Amino acid sequence: MVNVIQQFESAFTCDEFPHAMFYEFEIGLRFELGGEEVSTSRPIKRFIQAFERADAVSSELFEKSKSLWLLSSSYSDDLPKKKRLKPFKLCGIRSASFRYLGATPQQDENQSKELGSDLYRHWDAAELDGRDRLREVLWLALGSELGVRPTVQAKIYIVDFERNIALHPYDDRGMDVVSMDKNISPTCMRPINHGCSNTTSHV
């Protein structure tokens, strides 16, 4: 059985992915997906554009990947919510396919004061078994702020542990790609445009 935690720590040398991970890794790209030219008053059009851009970038980025993992993080108290993985069933990924990796305390003072408990970030992982699964997961991630359904409230990361690459579609606004391998930058971490109106890089 693959030890996901061990692979994660080996590939990315951190306990968990930071929230704005583009700024936390030396090698990274940030893609603008929705763009300023399509406002949120046209949510369907904006979503279609964001999805097509994310799909094109992820397709090229992971073209040579032999194995991809979905890492999902959700927030709760010290116990994870039972239905946190339910939306992934719509992608053909059953809850039994996930491995619960554990939780990391977030030290959120507002949470502690309001609810009387600490806030934790709970992590689950599942191996993706095909390109179609990746496209469906992208859909779940990008529609949350636009009211496009189905969606998921968890933060989603697509990871190739062998090549030390991680992709994080945070919502319709954009998507981050990071790597720990400096040798990968000339080929896979170059600015892939695909119609993205703005691509920021610190490769």
> Tens digit of pLDDT for each residue in 105-157?
887 666 566 655 678 999 999 999 888 899 999 999 998 889 999 999 999 99
* Number of structural domains the chain divides into: 1
The band of 197, judged by pLDDT with boundaries at 50, 70 and 90, is: very low
Q: Which of 7, 146, 18 is nearest to 68 (CA)?
A: 7
pLDDT digits (tens, 9 = 90+) for 183-195: 654 345 555 555 5
Domain that holds residue 47: 4-106+114-201
When pLDDT is averaged across residues 35-60 and rounded to a whole number, the result is: 93
* pTM score, whole prediction: 0.85
Assess contact for 34 and 50: CB atoms under 8 A: yes
Which residue matches tokens 């991970």?
Answer: 21
Assess contact for 22 and 178: CB atoms under 8 A: yes
Residue partners of 78: CB distance under 8 A and separation at least 6: 103, 117, 118, 120
Assess contact for 170 and 83: CB atoms under 8 A: no
Q: What pLDDT, on the 0 to 100 scale, is given for residue 181?
A: 74
Q: What pLDDT, on the 0 to 100 scale, is given for residue 150?
A: 92
Q: What pLDDT, on the 0 to 100 scale, is given for residue 15?
A: 76
The DSSP string of 32-44 is E-S-TTS-TTSHH
- pLDDT higher than threshold 90 for residue 62: yes
